[in-house]
Amino acid sequence: MDMLVLASASPRRRELLAQVGYVFKVHPAQIPEEPLAGEDPIAYVVRLAREKAEAVFRELTAATNGRGMDSDEGRLAVLGADTTVTLDKQILGKPEDAADAARMLRLLSGRTHRVITGVALMTEERVEVAAEATGVRFLTLRDEEIAAYVAGGEPMDKAGAYAIQGRAARWIPRVEGCYFNVVGLPLALVCSLLEGAGITAA
């Protein structure tokens, strides 16, 4: 039996992958997440997803003398993912502080932005990478709404400083594309990658 490992500390990604029936372990990757100079947003998230999957695969393989896991557990497969928000070709990652979160929300106010998630699946045989982009429309936000939302703490570990599955949902009248991608994991794309590698849900 294959062992699937999610290379992410995100509780949202854990919930989504479990939602579609996969059994997996969690082993977060520890890598720098800064974009390279002039890096395209799609290239950025795909690179990070691949680096996360590769880092965790190496760690787990090294820990078990090259087997990747106990010999009776079958093949190791590591899923990496990274999500970012882009507006006018600008990458909006996780806010540094409350002021940065408010700045991002003011940028998104009244406009449509893109949420892009890169995913990578690494096995001993190969690495498969892909990306999903979703358009998200925001209503125009008042300064006091932004201040109250930031004060509640929800934006602080989210790309673009908001959570579509949280209180920010009331500001989003339209999503163009995969909703789950905005939460953090494009499920149809991920399931296609996993099934293509012969990894099935429980």
Domain count, the chain: 1
Cα distance between residue 138 and residue 75, in whole Å: 43
Residue 140 lies in a domain: yes
CATH for 141: 3.90.950.10
The total of other beta-carbon atoms located within 10 Å of residue 181's CB is 27
Helix ranges (DSSP H) in the chain: 11-19, 41-63, 98-108, 143-151, 179-183, 187-196
88 is catalytic: no
Residue 201 lies in a domain: no
Its domain, for residue 173, covers 3-196
Residue 32 lies in a domain: yes
Are residues 161 and 84 in contact, defined by beta-carbon separation less than 8 angstroms?
A: no
pLDDT in tens, the chain (202 residues): 689 999 999 999 999 999 999 999 999 999 998 899 999 999 999 999 999 999 999 999 988 765 544 445 678 999 999 999 999 989 999 999 999 999 999 999 999 999 999 999 999 999 999 999 999 999 999 999 999 999 999 999 999 999 999 999 999 999 999 999 999 999 999 999 999 999 999 8
**Stated pTM of the model:** 0.91
Residue 202 lies in a domain: no
Active-site position among 2, 82, 88, 97 = 82
